Amino acid sequence: MSPTGAAPGRAQSRRTLRRLLSARNVVVAAATALALLLPLFGSNFFVEFVMTRTMILGIAAATIVFLAAYGGMVSLAQYLLAGVAGFMVGNAVVAQDAWSKGLKLGWNPWVAVLFALAVTTAVAFVLGALASRTTGIYFLMITLTYAVIGYYVFGSITPLSGFGGITGIDPPGLFEDHPQRMYLALVVLSVLVYVAFRVLAVTPFGLALQGIRDDPVRMASLGFNVSLHRTLAFTLAGFTAGLAGVFNVWWNGQIDPTSISIGPTLDLLIVAVIGGTLSLEGAWLGAFVFVAANNYLRNLPLVDHIGITEARFNTIVGVLVLLIMILSPDGLAGIIDRIRLGLRRLVHLSRGSGAGPAEAAAGSKP
């Protein structure tokens, strides 16, 4: 193709890119506004239960997506790290005279948060440093092993928790008896996490991380410390998962090893998979689908007839994931992308035989 022919093509593709990006941003901004206004019209159950849980799971799942999309690492340790933060909050805030397990330090809740996040970040750094020299399937296996060992650590080390777990963990006064405030704080935190991850992607660190994802050998020969980048990304993801874990334990009021066992660990992965492991927004979308399915599926009239009750929820989740993995490994976001692609192709076809007005107007802009 001649240079004169190539230039408009490139300009057009740049324009398409810009349009796509802004469309994505508009949708995200609208969703954020909707989420912030939700307490005005949503039912209490929907806001304080369904959506609060969605935000917590969304943040935790976003850390999986961040590691997978930018670092090429599918981590199963994120729920463990959230749990570490939760256990640390529990150990720190429960008062000495309370009837519960744990260290019962009786600290100020905000000090406890700092402590929990510091411990979680340190744990994430060590675990990340050990796993960072592997990728792909090895990384998945090692982090799954972390998750299961973490379950046994908190289960068997009774001074920290024991299998009974820690109960009676009160959130700080700001959120105690104010579930709507907690929800709004979670929305704000979700936005911060989302923006931070997206901004990080275009920083030198984020670009190096994506380079390492695509070709670690080349990046190493260019002088980048491959395992250090991976370790730091894992540490950052661990810190963020810790934030979700703090809110999770405030919301639940208790934490036990079963809540970080292999089942919930897979649930979180499933949330990320439903949304699509390469799409950051998908984390929250997947979380919503998961929580909504968990809460509303049993209300469907037919469900009882085929013998799928709430108790068999895991079967439904499993089948859902199986279907997604068979049909579209990129999850719902992938399905949406595919539909969008299909629509555009349709529009393209119809434009070839006489353009639709909107498309024609958009296309004729210089």
Partner 1 sequence: MLPRWVSRAAVWVPLAAAALWVLVLARNTSAGPAIREPGEFVVTLLDGVTFAGLLFVVASGFTLIFGLMRTVNMAHGSLFLGAAYVAHEIQTNMVGKDANIDARDVSLLAWILPLLAAGAVVALLGLLMQQLLLRWNQGQDLRQALITLAISVIAADQLLAHFGGVAQPLKWPGAVTHFFEIVGERYATSRLFMLGVALLVGALLWLWLNRTRMGMVIRAGVDDQEMVRALGINITLVFAITFVVGSFLAGVGGVLGGSFAGSVAPGVDGAWLLNSLVVVIIGGLGSVKGAVAGSLLYGMVVALSPAYLPAGYTYYSVIFTFALLAVVLAVRPAGLYGRVE
Residue 90 makes CB contacts below 8 A (sequence gap 6+) with 102, 161, 166, 169, 249, 254, 255
Among 105, 312, 335, 351, binds partner 1 (CB under 8 A): 312
Q: Which of 16, 28, 11 is nearest to 341 (CA)?
A: 16
Rounding to the nearest 10 degrees, give the CA dihedral for residues 176, 178, 184, 188.
-20
* 3-state SS, residue 255: strand
* CA distance to 87, 112, 300, per residue, from 157 (Å): 12, 20, 42
- As a whole number of angstroms, the distance between CA 219 and CA 191 comes to 31
Beta carbons of 73 and 58 less than 8 angstroms apart? no
Beta carbons of 129 and 109 less than 8 angstroms apart? no
Among 56, 142, 189, 243, binds partner 1 (CB under 8 A): 142
Q: Does 153 bind partner 1 (CB under 8 A)?
A: yes
List residues bridging with 255 in a β-sheet: 166
| Identity of the residue, 10 or 305, whose beta carbon is nearer to partner 1 in the bound complex | 305
Among 47, 64, 189, 321, binds partner 1 (CB under 8 A): 321
| Identity of the residue, 133 or 351, whose beta carbon is nearer to partner 1 in the bound complex | 133
Among 273, 280, 283, 287, binds partner 1 (CB under 8 A): 273
Among 50, 117, 131, 289, binds partner 1 (CB under 8 A): 131
| Identity of the residue, 309 or 350, whose beta carbon is nearer to partner 1 in the bound complex | 309
| Shortest distance in whole angstroms from residue 58 CB to partner 1 | 20
| Residue range at the interface with partner 1 (CB under 8 A); choices 99-107, 248-256, 279-287, 312-320 | 312-320
Amino acid symbol at 195:
V
Q: Which of 242, 248, 317, 212 is nearest to 81 (CA)?
A: 242
Q: Does 130 bind partner 1 (CB under 8 A)?
A: yes
Beta carbons of 3 and 158 less than 8 angstroms apart? no
| Residue range at the interface with partner 1 (CB under 8 A); choices 49-57, 211-219, 237-245, 319-327 | 319-327
- Whose tokens are 């369904």? That residue is 50
| Identity of the residue, 134 or 210, whose beta carbon is nearer to partner 1 in the bound complex | 134
Among 1, 137, 302, 358, binds partner 1 (CB under 8 A): 137
| Shortest distance in whole angstroms from residue 160 CB to partner 1 | 9
Burial 139-150 (b: 16+ CB within 10 A, else e): bbebbbebbeeb
| Identity of the residue, 53 or 230, whose beta carbon is nearer to partner 1 in the bound complex | 230
Among 17, 34, 141, 327, binds partner 1 (CB under 8 A): 141
| Identity of the residue, 204 or 307, whose beta carbon is nearer to partner 1 in the bound complex | 307
- Whose tokens are 């730091």? That residue is 232
* CA distance to 65, 92, 268, 335, per residue, from 235 (Å): 14, 22, 18, 31
Among 33, 95, 319, 327, binds partner 1 (CB under 8 A): 319
| # binding residues, partner 1 (CB under 8 A) | 40
| Identity of the residue, 151 or 183, whose beta carbon is nearer to partner 1 in the bound complex | 151
Interacting residue ranges for partner 1, rule: CB under 8 A: 74, 130-131, 133-134, 136-138, 140-142, 144-145, 148-149, 152-153, 156-158, 261-263, 266, 269-270, 273, 311-315, 317-319, 321-322, 325-326, 329
